[in-house]
Amino acid sequence: MIRQALVVSIVATGVSFAQDGPFGAGLYQVLEKAGCRACHTADGVASPTRLHFPDPGAAPERVEAFGRSLVTLIDRAKPEASVLLTKPTNRLAHAGGERIKPGGADESALRDWIARLTKLSGVELDSALKYRQEEDAGKGKAAAPRIELRRLTHSQYNHIVRDLLGDQTSPANQFPPEDFVNGFRNQSQAQNLSPLLIEAYSAAAEKLARNAFRGGDTRGLIPCKPSAACRTRFVREFGLKTFRRPLEPAEQRRYESLMAREPDFVKAAQLVVEAMLQSTSFLFRLDESADARWRPYVAASRLSFAIWDSSPDAELYAAAARGDLNAPQGVDKAARRMLDHPKARESFQEFVSQWMRFDRILTASKDRRKFPQFTRETAVAMTEEARLFLGDLVWNDRNFMDLFTAPYGYANSDLAAIYGVPAPAKEFDRVTFPSGSERAGLLGQSLFLAITAKPEDSSPTARGLFVREQFLCQHVPEPPAGVNTNLPPVTENRPQTNRDRMSEHATNPSCATCHRLIDPIGFGLERFDAIGARREKFQLQFSTGQRRNAEMKTVNLEIDPDGYVAGIADSKFTSPSQLGAVLAKSVQCQECLVKQYFRYTMGRMEAPADRPVILKVLDEFRNSQFRFKELIVALMRSRGFSDSGEAVHVAGNHKAR
């Protein structure tokens, strides 16, 4: 009955050829079994291709439409030459290797479907060709999730108590650490409240309230002379700043009653501050609201947390109250004003520190015998260079794609020694990389090269994976369970480079599919060691004896730096500068920059229904000659005035009170 209903549904849409059997019950199952979905999705390593699987659980008619859309991958005049046949069977070089064995039953199913697609014509063919256009437009997709409440991140907590109370102690640094999800610490799905975090909030609120009024009202928090009227005003004004919206009448009465319990006005105000700092209305921020009264304030919060990583200021609240944020023009004006404030630079640094995973280098260890230059201070210098480099591109309105191609960095004496350039006149001055260094942009700086390396040597796999995930926004599937990931040991009798040792990845079917997508990227960066210093030879050392003072024998091997990025045309390279040039002109990379900032500001991964917004922002970013501030403004405008979804999710399942 299910099959009959499905056929009826398909025929009703004008696809009469489905009478021979639906795609979903035939070839679709073959492709799923072959693991094609792992790469052929919107965020898979094969995302630039014309083959995108529908979402898991997609309606049967959408699956059938996907099957018909494969007509774009066949050669109607010569079916044997169809990409749909030659790629998965690896007759034509396929980055994913052989997924369907030639001559077997699965290939027969594939050939049968190709034969049926060659017969498509008229309305059926037009319908098939529209599928990808509809995919790009977000049609046929589930609504994008809309997050109603988001917990304050630790950095936001620190910034708010600084702006609200003048407290500079960064109390959230002592809270339980936040997890990285989707590449960031602020993703809503990981923002539940643990008992340890609740306890930390309580202790911090008590201490912050006490310190705010130590010695009297030294911070100017009380706006008037103590009286009943002042009590009302204090609760109303401090409540607006703390909850980022006007208080409800019941809330106003409750906090006024709390103040009335304490005859000393300052101590009473301290009680209110402590209580408000523990309310979920403070700890969680509205990101959407069905209540029309609060929407302008929600818009103000969205802007302030995205651009400042903190609460709105008085001017933004005033704009919200006037209704200025109810129109794209008002959001544009407010966003540009906010970008001129120093807090915008600090907020952008928080984005950079998470996107570039500063945490990895700050907790990294390197073999002291091989890399005595690497110290805690060197690690901090690597992050500072990246901050200055990226900050210069943004705040001086440079082309942000110079991120990959700029022939300079910002070095101190430690980094200059690694780069082989003279120490700058002052710390972190801009230094030009020598023409023969083959360095450019972030890929040529020590931060990237060091965080994608092991303690004792470079790691082609880690470097390739970082490029795929951070700069191309492509998800690489996890290795199959039970696969031995250990490489053969290096011995004095058989010295090998990383490329030679990793040849196992290319020959082992369990490893080859993914490693062919990531290892070749890392191979092209092998002239740089585990801290980012250039090397002409791959050096191995072997002890000549068992004694502690035994001499070391050094073996130097030739480095083959040939690399490429599977899935990007004309992407062969042999150095960071050449890889940077490939990425800078890559549409996938340009779109990924938009996606990364989208994920950070939205607190979630992009959904298929978000694609029109992302493409619109990308278009504005590109038209601005890749000015990152224009990307920010375009996304702020799009967030409040798009209709990408209706579903509501409350982060952490906590309701505001």
- Which residue, 523, 550, 584, sits at the end of a domain? 584
Q: Give the highest mean pLDDT range of 77-81, 537-541, 562-566.
A: 562-566
The encoded tokens of residue 171 equal: 């109390």
pLDDT at 288: 82
Q: Answer yes or no: are the C-beta atoms of 311 and 164 closer than 8 Å.
A: yes
Same domain, 291 and 327: yes
Q: Which residue has the higher pLDDT, 142 or 404?
A: 404
User: What residues pair up with 359 in beta bridges, in sequence order?
Assistant: none
SS3 for 38?
Answer: helix
Same domain, 259 and 169: yes
User: What residues pair up with 491 in beta bridges, in sequence order?
Assistant: 494
16 belongs to a structural domain: yes
Residue 598 makes CB contacts below 8 A (sequence gap 6+) with 606, 610, 613, 614, 617, 635
| Residue from 598, 635, 617, 637 nearest 327 by CA | 637
Q: Binning pLDDT at 50, 70 and 90, where does residue 550 land?
A: low
Taken as a whole, the chain contains a residue count of: 657
Least confident of 139-143, 467-471, 536-540, 580-584: 139-143
Q: What is the dihedral of CA 103, 107, 113, 116, to 10 degrees?
A: -10
Q: Answer yes or no: are the C-beta atoms of 640 and 302 closer than 8 Å.
A: yes
Per the rule left: phi > 0, alpha: psi between -120 and 50, beta: everything else, 103 is left
User: What residues pair up with 147 in beta bridges, in sequence order?
Assistant: 649
d(CA 302, CA 337): 15
What is the per-residue pLDDT across 20-60, written as a single tens digit (0 to 9) for each?
Answer: 578 888 898 999 888 888 888 877 878 777 788 888 888 88
The encoded tokens of residue 212 equal: 């705010």
- For strand 429-432 and strand 408-411, is the pairing parallel, antiparallel, or unpaired? antiparallel
Residue 87 has pLDDT above 80, yes or no: yes
Q: Answer yes or no: are the C-beta atoms of 440 and 389 closer than 8 Å.
A: no
Radius of gyration of the chain (CA): 29
DSSP letter assigned to residue 308: T
72 belongs to a structural domain: yes
Q: Which domain holds residue 527?
A: 365-480+492-584
| Residue from 531, 595, 592 nearest 567 by CA | 592
Q: State the maximum Cα–Cα separation within the chain, in Å, rounded to a whole number.
A: 91
> Average pLDDT, stretch 228-254?
96
46 belongs to a structural domain: yes
d(CA 266, CA 96): 68
d(CA 149, CA 112): 50
Q: Binning pLDDT at 50, 70 and 90, where does residue 16 land?
A: very low
pLDDT at 10: 37
84 belongs to a structural domain: yes
What is the per-residue pLDDT across 327-384, written as a single tens digit (0 to 9) for each?
Answer: 999 999 999 999 999 999 999 999 999 999 999 999 999 999 999 999 999 999 999 9
- Which residue, 79, 101, 136, sits at the end of a domain? 136
Same domain, 499 and 537: yes
Could you tell me the CA-to-CA distances from 637 to 331, 420, 642 in Å, in that order? 6, 45, 9
Q: Which residue has the higher pLDDT, 656 or 205?
A: 205
Mean pLDDT for the chain overall: 88
| Alpha helix stretches (DSSP H) within 289-428 | 295-307, 314-322, 328-339, 342-355, 358-362, 376-395, 413-419
Q: Which residue has the higher pLDDT, 131 or 648?
A: 131
> Average pLDDT, stretch 461-485?
86
Q: Answer yes or no: are the C-beta atoms of 567 and 587 closer than 8 Å.
A: no
What is the per-residue pLDDT across 597-633, written as a single tens digit (0 to 9) for each?
Answer: 999 999 999 988 898 999 999 999 999 999 999 999 9
Q: Binning pLDDT at 50, 70 and 90, where does residue 462 land?
A: very high
Same domain, 13 and 102: yes
- Percentage of the chain lying above the pLDDT 70 cut: 89
Same domain, 118 and 154: no
Same domain, 119 and 223: no
DSSP track, 427-467: TTEEEEPPGGG---TGGGSHHHHHHTB-SSSB-HHHHHHHI
Same domain, 85 and 227: no
What is the per-residue pLDDT across 634-645, written as a single tens digit (0 to 9) for each?
Answer: 999 997 654 343
0.85 exceeded by pTM:
yes
pLDDT at 649: 38
pLDDT at 178: 95
| Residue 170 burial (10 A CB sphere; 0-12, 13-18, 19+) | middle
597 belongs to a structural domain: no
Same domain, 383 and 530: yes
SS3 for 543?
Answer: strand
Same domain, 63 and 153: no
Tokens 């480099």 sit on residue: 389
463 belongs to a structural domain: yes
| Residue from 181, 179, 172 nearest 152 by CA | 172
Amino acid identity at 182: N
Extract the runs of DSSP E, i.e. beta strands, from 478-577. 537-543, 552-558
Q: Answer yes or no: are the C-beta atoms of 450 and 529 closer than 8 Å.
A: no
- Which residue, 541, 557, 584, sits at the end of a domain? 584
The encoded tokens of residue 537 equal: 């030879």
- Percentage of the chain lying above the pLDDT 90 cut: 61
Q: Binning pLDDT at 50, 70 and 90, where does residue 141 land?
A: low
Same domain, 167 and 53: no
pLDDT at 482: 65
Same domain, 375 and 296: no
625 belongs to a structural domain: no
pLDDT at 535: 96
SS3 for 148?
Answer: strand
355 belongs to a structural domain: no
d(CA 633, CA 308): 13
DSSP letter assigned to residue 653: G
Same domain, 112 and 152: no
Total count of domains within the chain: 3
Report long-range pairs for 366-369 (Cβ below 8 Å, ≥24 apart): 366/450, 366/455, 366/456, 366/530, 366/531, 367/455, 367/456, 367/530
Q: What is the dihedral of CA 178, 460, 46, 406, to 10 degrees?
A: 80
